[in-house]
Amino acid sequence: MSLADAKTGDDRTRKPRADSLRNREQLLEAAKAAFTTIGAEAPLEEIARRAGLGIGTLYRHFPTRDALLAGVYRREVEQLANSAETLLAERPAGEALRAWLHLLVDYMATKRVIAPALQASPGEGQAAYASSGPAITGAMNRLAQAAIDSGDVRGDVGPDDLLRMLMGLSYGYDRPDWEPSARRLIDILMAGLKPQA
């Protein structure tokens, strides 16, 4: 086999992988939208249709509904956790914290639909739900500490204080009127966290 043949063989093995990753992302995005609008019992055929893929492709990536729910939830947690560093690189620390809190509200709106099904699912669902806390708390602590260190947030507030405030923010997140209220509370929270002149 020549070097050219080996390269062609390598390219052939990479393309299905890229296609597979793209298909997986399409399925996760379509599932998130379907679960959010229809509920955790959204028909899997509908999710595959929304993704522009066949049901067989869905089952190759996610053999059960629980696996799909866990996949959507893990992706949401990963995106939320990873967004902390991106926001800190793009904005002042206080603005990054505010933006991240709004992303947290988006995450909780999805969680409202998915979490009950995950908690009821033995194995993969419960494991995905149980493992999310450290990633989210770690991102929040990083943002809070950066905002404190920069002077955007008053120095007598610590990451633990912010965590307690967010527990209050999350109260009633399963109610339909929660999201607009939570977004207003973020503005109130950020105003209260500013250093006193």
What tens digit of pLDDT does each residue of 7-52 get?
A: 555 444 445 578 889 999 999 999 999 998 898 899 999 999 999 9
Q: Which residues contact 36 (CB under 8 A, 6 or more apart)?
A: 109, 110, 113
Distance from C-alpha of 112 to C-alpha of 175, rounded to nearest angstrom: 9
Q: Is the pTM of this model over 0.75?
A: yes
What tens digit of pLDDT does each residue of 93-145 get?
A: 999 999 999 999 988 888 888 878 877 777 777 788 778 889 999 999 999 99
Distance from C-alpha of 174 to C-alpha of 112, rounded to nearest angstrom: 5
Residue-level pLDDT at 13: 47
Contact 45, 55 (CB under 8 A): yes
